[in-house]
């Protein structure tokens, strides 16, 4: 329970109002250290409660009577910036703590005025924060605590130099916390530079860096089958809320328009979309008006929405870290989730590399056939009928037409009406037979050629060029 940390009654009330019952693994390990004033590196899988892990002890230390920034949180994206600020405000509202989100694409004046009016917490993206510091548009920041959130995403997005420049403006006497899902070498070097004798806390076990509440499945399809395969998987899995990751902005727009034309409540999110539209799309996705978000990697980073049931990799990412971040959008706050990836035959080797890097198995399955999905729909219909209460209107209607048809014929007609509503598109079978790709490499004829076979046929071309 959160009482063990010695939080004030106001903060405990806020935690209770937020629906938090017991601390997660990362929260249990880092909160006591933060309360002691220690610098630390916190490494945990995406979606395990890192924001509350630093926000709660920080809020306990902040005085609502202070008129200066005591906590600075740096996040990689606008979306994460606003979400972290909202969560801090939710926890700090009863105590009177004020938080300001500082990010690009929004009014400079409004953000600066909000800080000057006495905000105790600033959550900022690197670009806008560095711009304000360089131009001296905000008073000199002297936060007692600085948090670098999702540090590996900042590295991926090219913010490492900005981060280093920002720390030149910050006071030497401070408590610094660094949180990251993965710890590549540049982040390790940064941690050594900006932290003092830090505690290293990790809740990742072994080589496992993905959340084990995520079911991971890959489906082999030909390039021209990707869209049919995605729609078939959506029909089969019926995601409550999902993100579909594409390689490029053009891919996002094309796929989202196609989904929209087929009746799927979808929206696009990528770098060409203006900030106001991005905020509208994110809000619509959060409240359920949009059920499918089609996005690029950069645009979707930092999304903290707890009820995403599925992540679809329409295109395979190029790096293991990107894959980990993508699938980490689901299975949050103790929920289960699924990550479904489409791969072409040529990408199977890269999929194997990602699986080894992520340290968790990715099952390989075949796309469900049209008949498979129809059978699933019939099972769902049977379950609905078994629990469907009989209304008085239905009884009256049956009585009014019982002279026109017998009950058996009437039942068949009603079932036919329901079944006609199950409209499924696409070919009967999508994707090649998986047995073609599951054979051991030693059994493949092209791998059995003796060493030097190519050189015997064509000679040593490198030596010929040199001569």
Question: Would you say residue 304 lies in a domain?
Answer: yes
pLDDT bucket at 440, cuts 50 / 70 / 90: very low
251 and 360 together in one domain: yes
Query: Residue 465 pLDDT > 50, yes or no?
Result: no
Domain count, the chain: 3
Q: What is the pLDDT of residues 6-21, one digit of tens each?
A: 999 999 999 998 888 8
Long-range contacts of the stretch 110-117 (C-beta < 8 A, 24+): 112/137, 112/138, 115/69, 115/139
270 and 318 together in one domain: yes
Mean pLDDT across the stretch 47-57?
A: 87
pLDDT bucket at 350, cuts 50 / 70 / 90: confident
219 and 168 together in one domain: no
Mean pLDDT across the stretch 335-342?
A: 94
57 and 190 together in one domain: yes
125 and 64 together in one domain: yes
Distance CA 120, CA 228 (A): 51
Give whole-number Cα distances, 404 to 330, 397, 409, 414, in Å: 52, 12, 10, 14
Mean pLDDT across the stretch 150-154?
A: 87
265 and 385 together in one domain: no
363 and 229 together in one domain: yes
Question: Would you say residue 429 lies in a domain?
Answer: no
pLDDT bucket at 342, cuts 50 / 70 / 90: very high
Nearest CA to 207 out of 40, 320, 50 is that of 320
Question: Would you say residue 463 lies in a domain?
Answer: no
pLDDT bucket at 180, cuts 50 / 70 / 90: confident
233 and 287 together in one domain: yes
129 and 56 together in one domain: yes
Distance CA 208, CA 406 (A): 62
Question: Would you say residue 112 lies in a domain?
Answer: yes
- Domain limit, last residue, from 404, 420, 436: 420
In this prediction, residue 457 carries a pLDDT of: 41
| 325 or 366, greater pLDDT | 366
83 and 35 together in one domain: yes
Query: Residue 311 pLDDT > 90, yes or no?
Result: yes
CA angle, 403 as apex, 398 and 405 as ends, to 5°? Answer: 75
For residue 276, report the phi and psi dihedrals to the nearest 5 degrees.
-60, -40
Nearest CA to 126 out of 88, 183, 72 is that of 72
The boundaries of the domain holding residue 392 are: 371-420
Residues 311-347 as b/e (b if ≥16 CB within 10 A, e otherwise) read bbbbbbbeebbbbbbbbbbbbbeebebbbbbbbbeeb
Mean pLDDT across the stretch 316-339?
A: 86
386 and 356 together in one domain: no
- Domain limit, last residue, from 178, 202, 226: 202
Q: Going by C-beta distance under 8 Å and a sequence separation of 6 or more, which residues neighbour residue 193?
A: 164, 167
| 310 or 466, greater pLDDT | 310
What's the gap between Cα 224 and its chain centre?
27
177 and 242 together in one domain: no
Q: Do residues 271 and 299 touch, judged by C-beta distance below 8 A? A: yes
Structure-token pair, residue 224: 């021209």
> Residue 120: which CATH number?
3.40.50.300
What secondary structure letter does DSSP report for 192? H
Query: Residue 396 pLDDT > 70, yes or no?
Result: yes
Least confident of 81-90, 284-293, 388-397, 403-412: 403-412
Q: Do residues 96 and 88 touch, judged by C-beta distance below 8 A? A: no
């Amino acid at each position: 329970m959160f009482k063990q940390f010695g939080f004030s009654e106001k903060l405990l009330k806020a935690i209770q109002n937020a629906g938090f019952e017991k601390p997660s693994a990362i929260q249990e390990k880092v909160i006591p250290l933060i309360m002691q004033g220690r610098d630390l590196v916190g490494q945990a899988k995406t979606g395990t409660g890192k924001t509350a892990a630093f926000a709660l002890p920080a809020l306990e230390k902040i005085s609502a009577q202070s008129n200066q920034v005591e906590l600075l949180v740096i996040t990689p994206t606008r979306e994460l910036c606003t979400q972290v600020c909202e969560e801090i405000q939710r926890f700090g509202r009863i105590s009177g703590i004020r938080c300001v989100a500082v990010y690009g694409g929004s009014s400079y004046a409004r953000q600066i005025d909000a800080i000057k009016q006495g905000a105790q917490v600033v959550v900022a993206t690197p670009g806008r924060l560095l711009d304000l510091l360089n131009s001296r548009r905000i008073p000199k920041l002297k936060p007692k605590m600085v948090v670098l959130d999702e540090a590996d995403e900042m590295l991926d997005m090219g913010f490492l130099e900005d981060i280093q420049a920002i720390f030149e403006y910050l006071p030497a006497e401070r408590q610094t916390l660094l949180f990251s899902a993965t710890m590549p070498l540049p982040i390790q070097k940064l941690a050594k530079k900006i932290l003092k004798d830090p505690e290293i806390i990790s809740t990742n076990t072994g080589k496992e860096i993905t959340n084990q509440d995520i079911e991971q499945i890959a489906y082999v399809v030909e390039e021209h089958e990707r869209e049919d395969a995605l729609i078939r998987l959506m029909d089969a899995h019926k995601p409550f809320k999902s993100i579909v990751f594409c390689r490029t902005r053009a891919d996002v727009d094309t796929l989202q328009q196609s989904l929209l034309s087929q009746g799927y409540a979808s929206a696009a999110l990528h770098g060409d979309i203006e900030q106001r539209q991005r905020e509208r799309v994110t809000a619509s996705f959060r409240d359920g008006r949009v059920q499918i978000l089609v996005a690029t990697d950069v645009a979707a980073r930092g999304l903290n929405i707890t009820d995403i049931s599925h992540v679809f990799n329409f295109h395979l990412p190029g790096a293991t870290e990107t894959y980990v971040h993508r699938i980490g959008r689901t299975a949050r706050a103790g929920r289960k989730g699924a990550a479904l990836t489409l791969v072409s035959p040529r990408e199977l080797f890269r999929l194997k590399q990602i699986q080894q890097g992520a340290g968790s198995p990715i099952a390989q399955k075949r796309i469900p056939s049209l008949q498979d999905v129809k059978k699933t729909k019939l099972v769902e219909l049977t379950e609905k009928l078994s629990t469907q209460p009989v209304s008085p209107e239905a009884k009256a209607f049956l009585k009014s037409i019982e002279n026109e048809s017998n009950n058996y014929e009437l039942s068949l007609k009603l079932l036919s009406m329901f079944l006609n509503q199950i409209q499924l598109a696409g070919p009967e079978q999508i994707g090649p037979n998986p047995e073609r790709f599951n054979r051991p490499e030693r059994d493949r004829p092209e791998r059995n050629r003796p060493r030097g076979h190519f050189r015997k046929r064509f000679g040593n071309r490198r030596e010929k060029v040199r001569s």
